[in-house]
Structure 1
């Protein structure tokens, strides 16, 4: 892929140039290299959201600060673009080793992002600063701060575009929603990373390397706090996932049905442009879409609610929504569960997706005796697009299946 090849070429060129000419200001290079490495070592787990969010804000801020560093304690620096890339790639690789050993996410994507983003910022800043053209044009006052601000905005946009491309290449999700997710993140963690990187560079320029721990400690504490928040979120997801298995344990639905529906609904939601919190609501609703069956005296054969009369489907859906409301899940999740049996023209998009994917999973089991069970299930859905399943959702599901569907979903 082009971003990986570009990053690889930049890394080789930067390391080669630095080894040939020697390291300029080795103490400064070591300090920023250690900072980036520490940031990578404490980054959060990205197995659930690979590449969608910045998992190591301290590392990103440190790399950006080194790229924008023109002076250290009033003394001009001479490390330039090539050494910036060399230090960042070396630190990122060292910091990624323990993560890869633990199986905690694709290191190649993180290294690619780090190298290209820092390289872009350094390429825009270092030649202008080292030649004196930047200070000669804007001076050291407000215009210089404005230049740094514009450069940070461009760098953040570059990182957002690059991240969306990397996730698109890995998952096949539509590029638009992925880019929208990244641009939305710029208002949160992205702005914090950019601001911290600029403050680090300016602080080191005035006070020297002793300014690094003073500036980076707050971001490190924030990163550690966010890791705890991510742990709470993962615990909530595991709780919902456990509740979803209640219908399987009680014998109302086949093993793995809820998790298959949730995984496939998530990908179809991406295909149709859902992102961020909307995808979380969709996933939770898909996991618990059958929980209303626990109210039935006699289980539906094979848990196949798609074949029930509309009135019975609505009753089960309403009961399921009532149960979901008691679990503490967001109200939007209960609304999707309640409305999954409504006429599709009246449903919100997540309910349309859950209904179609649930029926697809059920029809696939029915079509197990056919030459192609997936094709049989899709044809069944297409036959009922006039009444039960939204055509756009069915066609999005077909596109997802054509790309291979969802891998790694446990059958039970």
Structure 2
């Protein structure tokens, strides 16, 4: 599957970064030397914090996965050059990248062995960000040589803080750009739109991570290792608050799923129809490179796309709206939008549902703005209506053949191609 191609690429890139940094570290002797025992303890403390941060990964529908504790610790590790006032560390950029890559690998492997979700693309993106910070600060800014102590930069504290913050923000942009490019390469998505969505979904957390990393680095000479847990504590508390929020959102989604089953219970649609449409719509959306926030709205819209059928006096045979008259389709659409808007919190979902029956020709011929998510719901709903939940090869072929009759007129060809990829052999069903 094309959409999965970015994962092996990211894995190879991440492992290559780990191998190269380890080799360079030992070839150049870029390790703590002499009596730098404090440097070793400092490195070990940062490595442990990075491992724990990778274990405490933040991931939720509608949000870009992140490891704020690991990132803040790694940034601080890269930016910390003094063990105590006047005593500079002897390890350089290659050692920092090697230790960070090793710690991230251990943390990620631990999650995988424990059966917890882990995204290799996002993990590699974080490693790219750490490498950018390390090279820009230690090599470009300080001019540190391998195995030599980091020289002072001659800046007053506030100037040093500005330089550190600017470098960490550039690194976070590099991380976001890296993951956006991989998403665009794996699906025919727009790079600019993908990048903007990635920034929007991670901006607040990224700022907190950057500031925390800088604070730890600035406080380390005076406070030593104690600066690490002290300044990480707000992020730890934020992590628990975020997980509480995710739990509430999960309950919210369950409530929406329950509401979507109303048409099943009332006999308007086949059992499980809305859930099948939602699951397949999300897979198609991922294939087309939608952001996590767009996928969440798409899932909600797909679950509620048929809720307007409860206003019908007589059910449509088999609940197949694709076989209903256009006027009946628009009436169901309008009722669905009205019901969703009554909640007062699903405006994005309502906008998707407003165009779920609009023919694609109105985009091609009239230039009408129809959200890609609406076109996805239209195609997937048609496929599910025509297969009636059957998963046999014959049912699939018959449904696809019917959809092809309306290709370019009723249905967006790009969405249909993504559907075929999502239901084809070897398709990712996650």
TM-score class, shorter-chain normalisation, is 0.7 to 0.9
Q: Give me the whole-angstrom Cα distance separating, in 1, the residues matched to 2:76 and 2:319.
A: 57
Q: Give me the whole-angstrom Cα distance separating, in 2, the residues matched to 1:10 and 1:334.
A: 45
Residue 66 of structure 2: aligned partner: 55
- Give yes or no for the alignment of 1:9 onto 2:16: yes
Q: Give me the whole-angstrom Cα distance separating, in 2, the residues matched to 1:336 and 1:351.
A: 5
The TM-score with structure 2 as length reference comes to: 0.79
Residue 401 of structure 1: aligned partner: 419
Q: How does 1:294-333 map to 2 (within 5 A)?
A: 294-326=310-342, 329-333=345-349
- Give yes or no for the alignment of 1:382 onto 2:407: yes
Q: Give me the whole-angstrom Cα distance separating, in 2, the residues matched to 1:54 and 1:339.
A: 30
- Give yes or no for the alignment of 1:284 onto 2:309: no
What SS does the corresponding residue of 1:199 show, helix, strand or coil?
helix
Give the CA deviation at 1:397.
Answer: 1.2
Residues 35 and 179 of structure 1: is their aligned pair in 2 closer, same or farther, counting only changes over 3 Å?
Answer: same
Residue 172 of structure 1: aligned partner: 187
Q: Give me the whole-angstrom Cα distance separating, in 1, the residues matched to 2:369 and 2:179.
A: 33
342-351 vs 31-40, greater mean Cα deviation: 342-351
Q: Give me the whole-angstrom Cα distance separating, in 2, the residues matched to 1:210 and 1:150.
A: 25
Residue 398 of structure 2: aligned partner: 373
Give the CA deviation at 1:263.
Answer: 3.4
- Give yes or no for the alignment of 1:358 onto 2:374: no
- Give yes or no for the alignment of 1:35 onto 2:49: yes
Q: Please, what is the CA RMSD of the aligned residues?
A: 3.4
Residue 79 of structure 1: aligned partner: 91
Q: How does 1:79-228 map to 2 (within 5 A)?
A: 79-106=91-118, 108-127=120-139, 128-129=141-142, 130=144, 139-140=155-156, 142-168=158-184, 172=187, 174=189, 176=191, 177-185=193-201, 187-228=203-244
Residues 56 and 16 of structure 1: is their aligned pair in 2 closer, same or farther, counting only changes over 3 Å?
Answer: same
What SS does the corresponding residue of 1:382 show, helix, strand or coil?
coil
Checking the alignment, whether the CA contact within 8 Å between 1:63 and 1:114 is kept in structure 2 is no
Give the CA deviation at 1:255.
Answer: 3.5
What SS does the corresponding residue of 2:64 show, helix, strand or coil?
coil
Checking the alignment, whether the CA contact within 8 Å between 2:357 and 2:378 is kept in structure 1 is yes
Residues 342 and 19 of structure 1: is their aligned pair in 2 closer, same or farther, counting only changes over 3 Å?
Answer: closer
Give the CA deviation at 1:28.
Answer: 0.1
Residue 263 of structure 1: aligned partner: 279
219-228 vs 16-25, greater mean Cα deviation: 16-25
Instruction: Output one character per residue of 1:34-70: Cα deviation in whole Å (capped at 9) or x when no partner.
Output: 2112212222346x57xx6242111111111111111
Q: Give me the whole-angstrom Cα distance separating, in 1, the residues matched to 2:45 and 2:280.
A: 45
- Give yes or no for the alignment of 1:65 onto 2:76: yes
Residues 335 and 53 of structure 1: is their aligned pair in 2 closer, same or farther, counting only changes over 3 Å?
Answer: closer
Give the CA deviation at 1:408.
Answer: 5.8
Q: Give me the whole-angstrom Cα distance separating, in 1, the residues matched to 2:136 and 2:246.
A: 35
Number of residue pairs the alignment of both structures matches = 399
Q: Give me the whole-angstrom Cα distance separating, in 2, the residues matched to 1:377 and 1:104.
A: 40
Give the CA deviation at 1:110.
Answer: 4.6
Give the CA deviation at 1:222.
Answer: 0.9
Unaligned ranges ≥5, structure 2: 1-7, 363-367
Residues 309 and 195 of structure 1: is their aligned pair in 2 closer, same or farther, counting only changes over 3 Å?
Answer: same
The TM-score with structure 1 as length reference comes to: 0.82
Q: Give me the whole-angstrom Cα distance separating, in 2, the residues matched to 1:232 and 1:70.
A: 42
Unaligned ranges ≥5, structure 1: none
Instruction: Output one character per residue of 1:110-155: Cα deviation in whole Å (capped at 9) or x when no partner.
Output: 5423333212211222234335999677633554344323322321
Q: Give me the whole-angstrom Cα distance separating, in 2, the residues matched to 1:278 and 1:45.
A: 15
Checking the alignment, whether the CA contact within 8 Å between 2:188 and 2:289 is kept in structure 1 is no
Residue 5 of structure 2: aligned partner: none
Residue 264 of structure 2: aligned partner: 248
Q: Give me the whole-angstrom Cα distance separating, in 2, the residues matched to 1:285 and 1:291.
A: 10
Q: Give me the whole-angstrom Cα distance separating, in 1, the residues matched to 2:125 and 2:67.
A: 11
Give the CA deviation at 1:277.
Answer: 4.1
Give the CA deviation at 1:343.
Answer: 6.7
Residue 4 of structure 2: aligned partner: none
What SS does the corresponding residue of 2:270 show, helix, strand or coil?
coil
Checking the alignment, whether the CA contact within 8 Å between 1:88 and 1:114 is kept in structure 2 is no
